[in-house]
Amino acid sequence: MKLSINKLFLILPFVLAGEAMAQQVRSFSSKEAVKYALENSPTIKNAVIETDIAKAKVMETTSAGYPQISGSASLLHYPEVQRFVLENTVNTPFYIKELTQDAPIAFALQLANSFNGTISASQLIFNGSYLVGLKASKTFQELSAKQLKQARISLAEQVMKTYYAILVNQEKSKLLDLNLSRLDSTYRETKVLFNNGFVEKVDLDRIEVSLNNLKAEKQKTIRLLALAGYGLKFQMGMSVKDSIQLSENLVDINPESIVPANTTIDYNDRIEYSTLQTQKALAGLELKNIKAGYLPSLVGLATLGVNAASSKFGNIANVTEKNRYAPYSFIGLSLSVPIFDGFQKKYKAQQTNLSLKKINNGFKLLENSIDLELNQANINLANANTNLEIQKRNLKLAEEVVRVSKVKYRQGVGSNLEVTNSESSLKESQSNYYSALYDFIITKIDLDKAQGILVKE
């Protein structure tokens, strides 16, 4: 028993350390949360895989211009050799006097066993579609990289908005605790006054109703915070079972340091514009590819082979017999010239030209949309900043009203209803303030996105 206890004390520190590591809480700032998400999100990992697929596609297209070599072999045995039937006719090379006129003659032109082996090679010398395809595959790779960047921006926006939503609700939760403590104190004071006959039962009941509502709101806020935490971990690519802590503080946000953006912007800073440019380049290459279909295609060919045959199967493996294996080879060129395709390429080109027109119209629409988005972001930021200042002022006034109403109530010159109303107004002011703060943060994120600087490579 003594030995077992000693072992237990030796093992216990390691067990506790393991549990502490398992329960370790990871802390993230908003930038760290975005960085972690960009490195671990399955959505981003799949987008990265798509870029790798695009790279492999480029190599696949390129390899079509390399020499193509193939080999083949066949070993055949004919249990019944195919024979040709002719008639015994005078004045023909195969006429046999011993047979009657026009008697059928059956003879074989091959042996019962045969072997054939070949090695063939081809080299593309000229093909217009291949040259255009090389450029198109590289452009497709660029498009894949831009789509990855767009996915990163979208994920960063989601993570940041969720992160700050949690921060705001955490502050609301703290305020609920303060309000609960303050209202509970008021309830206990009022209960003492009621027991001493200084207040009516309705005054006590009114405060208890407010207290119960506040407790219910607190429980709801706790559950919503847990749900938002699950959502943030999901967006970041973390297991929802892991623990996470947000290291930033809303006090650190300085609205005065955030200034509106310029109303003019380089459209190329927006990934949507750059992506549209790549799509236009792809459409242009598609048009070139269609036109290249009118050009001839030239391929170099070379084949080396050998034939062997025997009446007995065992003899076909005897490579030392002279003339048993008969080699053959050829080299040449294969030219393919398109003549008429029923106007297929003409109408394909027509469709591509129309698609290019749509893309050009898309440029105008996107430029206008970016200008509108930037101006909206500036206006929304100004409105959010103004509203935040007003709600901050209202919060201070509401806190002062609560303080004064409680002093008056204790001194007997104020009513219980006045205290309850002031508490309700304070709660509303607190909610309005944090809603305004969250709106301000969101408009700042939207402004960064409108300028194309939300995620810096």
CA dihedral sign, ordered 11, 16, 17, 19: positive
Q: Which two tokens stand for residue 100?
A: 């009657």
pLDDT at 261: 57
Q: What is the pLDDT of residues 23-43, one digit of tens each?
A: 567 899 989 999 999 999 999
Q: What is the pLDDT of residues 99-138, one digit of tens each?
A: 888 888 887 888 889 999 999 999 999 988 888 988 998 9
pLDDT at 256: 64
Tell me the CB-side half-sphere exposure of residue 405, using CA atoms within 13 A.
19
Helix H, strand E, coil C: the string for the chain is: CHHHHHHHHHHHHHHHHHHHHHCCCEEECHHHHHHHHHHHCHHHHHHHHHHHHHHHHHHHHHHCCCCEEEEEEEEEECCCCCEEEEECCCCCCCCCCCCCCCCEEEEECCCCEEEEEEEEEEEEEECHHHHHHHHHHHHHHHHHHHHHHHHHHHHHHHHHHHHHHHHHHHHHHHHHHHHHHHHHHHHHHHHHHHHCCCCCHHHHHHHHHHHHHHHHHHHHHHHHHHHHHHHHHHHHCCCCCCCEEECCCHHHCCHHHCCCCCCCCCHHHCHHHHHHHHHHHHHHHHHHHHHHCCCCEEEEEEEEEEEEEECCHHHHHCCCCCCCEEEEEEEEEEEECCCCCCCHHHHHHHHHHHHHHHHHHHHHHHHHHHHHHHHHHHHHHHHHHHHHHHHHHHHHHHHHHHHHHHHHHHCCCCCHHHHHHHHHHHHHHHHHHHHHHHHHHHHHHHHHHHHCCCCCC
Per residue in 352-367, is it b (16+ CB within 10 Å) or e — as a string?
beebbeebeebeeebe
In this structure, of 137-151, 185-199, 256-270, 295-309, the range with the lowest mean pLDDT score is: 256-270
Q: Which residue has the tokens 């291949």?
A: 130
In this structure, of 50-64, 82-96, 368-382, the range with the lowest mean pLDDT score is: 82-96
The answer on pLDDT for 20 being more than 50 is no
Q: What is the pLDDT of residues 279-295, one digit of tens each?
A: 999 999 999 999 998 99
69 forms beta bridges with 121
The answer on pLDDT for 5 being more than 50 is no
pLDDT band with cut points at 50, 70 and 90 for residue 90: confident
Q: Which amino acid is at 135?
A: K
pLDDT at 331: 95
**C-alpha–C-alpha distance, residues 182 and 210, integer Å:** 12
Q: What CATH superfamily is the domain 26-64+127-294+344-451?
A: Outer membrane efflux proteins (OEP) (1.20.1600.10)
Q: What is the pLDDT of residues 428-449, one digit of tens each?
A: 898 899 889 899 999 989 988 9
- Quote the pTM value: 0.77
pLDDT at 260: 61
Q: Give the Cβ contact number of residue 62 at 10 Å.
A: 14
The answer on pLDDT for 298 being more than 70 is yes
Q: What is the pLDDT of residues 307-355, one digit of tens each?
A: 998 888 888 888 888 888 899 999 999 999 999 989 998 999 999 999 9
The answer on pLDDT for 67 being more than 70 is yes
Q: What is the pLDDT of residues 173-222, one digit of tens each?
A: 888 888 888 888 888 888 888 888 877 888 888 888 888 998 998 999 89
In the chain, the percentage of residues whose pLDDT exceeds 70 is: 92
**C-alpha–C-alpha distance, residues 181 and 190, integer Å:** 14
**C-alpha–C-alpha distance, residues 384 and 434, integer Å:** 12
Q: Which of 445, 432, 449, 379 is nearest to 163 (CA)?
A: 445
The dihedral over CA atoms of 254, 251, 225, 155, expressed in degrees to the nearest 10, equals 30
Q: Which amino acid is at 355?
A: S
Q: Which of 279, 265, 235 is nearest to 449 (CA)?
A: 265
Mean pLDDT in the chain?
A: 86
- Would you kindly state where each structural domain of the chain is located, as residue ranges? 26-64+127-294+344-451, 69-124+296-337
Per residue in 371-408, is it b (16+ CB within 10 Å) or e — as a string?
eebbeebbebbeebbebbeebbebbeebeebbeebbee
Q: What is the pLDDT of residues 391-441, one digit of tens each?
A: 999 999 998 998 898 888 777 777 777 877 888 888 889 889 988 989 999
pLDDT at 262: 64
CA 291 to chain centre: 35
In the chain, the percentage of residues whose pLDDT exceeds 90 is: 46
**C-alpha–C-alpha distance, residues 123 and 136, integer Å:** 21
Q: Give the Cβ contact number of residue 92 at 10 Å.
A: 11
Q: Which two tokens stand for residue 280?
A: 């236009």
pLDDT at 182: 81
